[in-house]
Amino acid sequence: MKLRREFGCFKVFAFDGDGVLWRGRTPILSGIKVLNELLCLGKTVVLVTNNSTKSREMYQETLRKMGINLPLANIYCSSYGVAVYLSQHGYRSAYVVGEDGLKEELVKAGIKVKRKAEAVVVGMDRKISYSKIATASKLVRDQGAFFIATNRDATFPTEKGEYPGAGSIVAAIEVAAKKSVDVNIGKPQPYMFQLIMKDHNAEPSEIVVIGDRLETDIAAAKRISAKSILVLTGVAKKEDVEKSLEKPDYILKDLSELLE
């Protein structure tokens, strides 16, 4: 097995996680095999995920258990992206609606996680409560806190189907705060890809984005003028492409079709 000729020109292969490499806690075996083959070929493989529930170290361990050894520097989760963004822009405290991985990345970046804060960070939170929504919206509405989202995914795929995603929580806080987010870090916004291009010295023409969502993965590729591959192992189906404005450059049944 070898890489198909049309994909050989790419230097960086940017993989989404949910629906591409795993579904819930279940690995998608075709994806793992192909990812390891790319590493053997000397390609730069990066994980780019909107999921903010884990830190980079957590994702590295998740991948290791699946049989993938990816350097920490090649993992770009929205929890890390938010931490980098806030640090770059001088924020030193944040109220967090999110899980431990998000808080861990913020603390590592020197940002204090506290109730009275300069910024409100909203991500996926499987223990979301009325109290968290109230506190976050009040900070934004009444105290003028900077409002940043890890991503706006309405849903995320699991073994049991699609469940509400971070976007549903962001929307609730926007309504209560009477204000839209100031910044969204996750795809389709280009921020995490800008970090990748800088860190790995890559041009957009050298990157191919591989994902399962038209409105995030494929749209993100278009925004940075990179090529895109839609895999049909996650959210989007082939018939969705016909109705979408976001057209992938390639459509694959699963990642095994990267090889020949």
Exposure pattern of 114-145 as b/e (b: 16+ CB <10 Å)?
Answer: eeebbbbbbbbbeebeeebbebbbbbbeeeeb
46 and 13 Cβ atoms separated by less than 8 Å: yes
Strand, helix or coil for residue 26: strand
- Domains of the chain in sequence order: 5-50+187-258 (3.40.50.1000), 79-184 (3.40.50.1000)
pLDDT values of the chain reduced to their tens digit, one per residue, 260 residues:
789 999 999 999 999 998 899 988 889 988 888 999 999 999 999 999 999 999 999 999 999 999 999 999 999 999 999 999 999 999 999 999 999 999 999 999 999 999 999 999 999 999 999 999 999 999 999 999 999 999 999 987 777 888 899 999 999 999 999 999 999 999 999 999 999 999 999 999 999 999 999 999 999 999 999 999 999 998 899 999 999 999 999 999 999 999 98
Structure tokens at 42: 């000397």
Q: What is the pLDDT of residues 73-117, one digit of tens each?
A: 999 999 999 999 999 999 999 999 999 999 999 999 999 999 999
Strand, helix or coil for residue 142: helix
Q: What is the pLDDT of residues 161-174, one digit of tens each?
A: 888 999 999 999 99
Q: Is the peptide bond before 164 cis (omega within 30 degrees of 0)?
A: no
- Phi/psi of residue 239, each to 5°? -70, -20
Distances (CA, A) of 126 to 17, 156, 165, 188: 18, 12, 9, 23
Structure tokens at 14: 């940017």
Pairing of strands 250-252, 227-231: parallel
**Counting beta carbons within 10 angstroms of the beta carbon of residue 193, is it exposed (0 to 12), middle (13 to 18) or buried (19 or more)?**
buried
What is the pLDDT, as a whole number, of residue 155? 86
Which H/E stretch holds residue 97? strand 93-97
What is the pLDDT, as a whole number, of residue 161? 81
Q: What's this model's pTM, rounded to 2 decimal places?
A: 0.95
Q: How far apart are CA 182 and CA 142, in angstroms?
A: 15
